[in-house]
Structure 1
Amino acid sequence: MGLVALVGPLLNLPRRLSMPVVVGELMVGIVFGATGLRLFDASDPTFSFMAQVGFALVMFIAGTHVPFHDPNLRRGLGLGLIRAAVVGALCVPAGLAIARYFGTSHGLVYAVIMASSSASLVVPALGGVKIAGRQPTAMIMQIAVADAAAIVALPVVMAPDRVLKAVAGTAAVIVLAAIYGFVTHSRYQSRMRAVSRSHRLALEMRIVLLALFVLAAVAVSMGVSVMLAGFALGIAVSVNGEPKRLKRQMFALTEGFFAPLFFVWLGSSIDLRALAEEPRSIGLGIALAVVGIGLHLLPAVAKQPWAMAAVTAGQLGIPIGAVALGQAHGMLEVWEDPAFLLSAVITIGAVAMLAPRVAATIQAEANPQGV
């Protein structure tokens, strides 16, 4: 598994064929998983568990990228909230219209999928570029808001009987993450860092990992995705200011092993063969992707760089979560599952193509004079 995960970085080496590492890792999973050779079993408990650890860590890194100390944060946060709200509101009638066209009653599910964004996809695809400036900050905040809202909304529209539990789980994770941020932002923090550095104990990383597993356990036990646990903890660390040593340690742990494992697992769980069995599945997948990207592009009218607007349409965790919940509750048609996955694959392709342009735009805004 670790060997094939190297294919992702290797695909990034040739200049003419260069692509985001995450795309290469997903392709490896698709080739060796359910769609291709079927050598990887995404349902294997050990494989699935380690992938979920990777998912939580990827979302943690995404949360630490939220630039709370950027002076443009307030304006960026406002812009991000407005854009996410506008796109989300427009996705509701669009989802209902698509459902009516394809003869289903799942318009609100379609709306949540189209309105969602994926920090766990976009942030890695940008190649670690530092998020700074008004527009980049607004983009990250829009993705974060859409991501969080979709995580909460998905179980509401798919399993209304679990609404209270999901809301309580979301609140519990957020409160615990806030408590962690408050406790670690104390006078003992500097002392702990000094002891950890002098004795090479990696205390900060150990504490962060412990907190991450606790939050993930609470999230899973209350029917909430581990993506919220990772993202909330990442934000708490970002607010306090992430130490450089901790940043390097967590990046190495995530990108060196667990993140590639997660994306390979995710690719292996996608079975695109099912698309051939029902033409409506292909049509629905294309419709969800194209309409979703189109709606996310609308803020470009209000001077958001169009490439940044387009990458906010990237789908990852929410379509996968919709398939999992649909299978658990038996509420989706058989042909809808592969449609959701096809929609995600299309938007992932769009993010892969546009990520270099977005990264260049962010760097240009951070260094407008080319110094």
Structure 2
Amino acid sequence: MSLGDLALIVAAGLAGPLLAAGRRGFVPVVAGEILAGVILGRSGFDVIHADDATVSFLAEAGFAMLMLTVGMHIPLRDRRLRRALGRRALAAGVAAIAASFGELSDRDGVPAAVVQIGLQEHVITPALGAALTLAALTTLGFCALGTDLLRRRATPSASVPPTPLGVG
């Protein structure tokens, strides 16, 4: 990747905030950034090639930030949303965790991560990475909800530390 490609990626990243600038933004910031990526990527003019390692890393980091942004805009404290989801959300979460750990085992039921530790230099496989990420995000979510519950029950003199994401 050349310095010109990196400058083009930075300029494309600024497209979202520029389109959203002003009192009445033309489009949301995230939509502008996605649109710029589509135009410059394989779907558009194919100026930026995704097979480059640096571009691939930037794409994965950008996707992670996009998911964080989406997650931060979900109104978890809305009672109507909680009631609507209820047990279905819990069942979906358990199914997602089970599916990600199901990816980790081979045909004999031996965890693939244990087998691959001895076979490869890369200990963390994509499935293990997905499982660890899902577990970490679930834990952070429970921390955020738990801190909120503790804060409601705490006395005024009690101090509850903030969660890792600063929620609460």
Residue 280 of structure 1 corresponds to none
Cα distance in structure 2, aligned partners of 1:31 and 1:230: 33
Q: Measured at CA, do residues 56 and 26 of structure 1 come closer, stay the same or move farther in structure 2, by a change above 3 Å? A: closer
Equivalent residue letter for 2:48: F
* Percent of pairs with identical residues: 29
1:7 CA drift (Å) = 0.3
2:84 pairs with one of 63, 66, 79: 79
> Residues 62 and 16 of structure 1: is their aligned pair in 2 closer, same or farther, counting only changes over 3 Å?
closer
Task: Tell me the CA shift for residue 27 of structure 1.
Answer: 0.8
SS in structure 2 opposite 1:224? Answer: helix
CA contact (8 A) 1:166 1:223 kept: no
Does structure 1 residue 165 correspond to structure 2 residue 103? yes
Q: Partner residue of 2:128?
A: 222
User: What is the letter of the counterpart of residue 23 of structure 1?
Assistant: A
1:8 Cα deviation from its structure 2 partner: 0.6
C-alpha deviations, 1:35-92, integer Å up to 9, x for none? 2221212232222223323433443455556666x4x55x64231246xx5xxxxxxx
Q: 1:228 to 1:42 in 2, by over 3 A?
A: farther
Matched residues in 2 for 1:24 and 1:80: separation? 30
| Partner of residue 144, structure 2 | 238
Decide whether the 8 Å contact of 2:143 with 2:163 is kept in 1. Answer: no
Aligned residue for 1:39? 47
Q: Which runs of 5 or more residues in structure 1 are unaligned?
A: 86-141, 157-161, 168-216, 249-371
Residue 224 (structure 1) shift: 2.8
Matched residue pairs, number? 129
Say whether residues 1:11 and 2:7 are aligned partners: no
Q: How does 1:123-134 map to 2 (within 5 A)?
A: none
**Contact between 1:63 and 1:234, CA under 8 Å: does it hold in 2?**
no
For structure 2, which runs of at least 5 residues remain unmatched after alignment? 1-8, 106-122, 149-160
Change (3 A) 1:64 1:24: closer
Task: Tell me the distance in 2 between the aligned counterparts of 1:233 and 1:163.
Answer: 16
Alpha carbon RMSD of aligned pairs, Å?
4.5
By how many angstroms is 1:19 displaced? 1.3
The alpha-carbon distance between structure 1 residues 163 and 221, as it changes in their structure 2 partners (threshold 3 A), is: closer
Q: Do the aligned partners of 2:30 and 2:66 also contact (CA within 8 Å) in 1? A: no
Contact 1:34 / 1:41 at 8 angstroms: preserved in 2? yes
Q: Which residue of 2 aligns with 1:30?
A: 38
Alpha-carbon deviation of 1:24?
Answer: 0.6
- Is structure 2 residue 10 aligned with structure 1 residue 2? yes
- The structure richer in helix per residue is 1
Structure 1 CA distance for aligned equivalents of residues 81 and 164 of structure 2: 28
- What SS does the corresponding residue of 1:222 show, helix, strand or coil? helix
Greater Cα radius of gyration, structure 1 or 2: 2
1:27-106 equivalences under 5 Å are 27-60=35-68, 62-63=70-71, 70=77, 73=79, 76-81=81-86, 85=88
Q: Distance in 1 between matches of 2:95 and 2:19?
A: 32
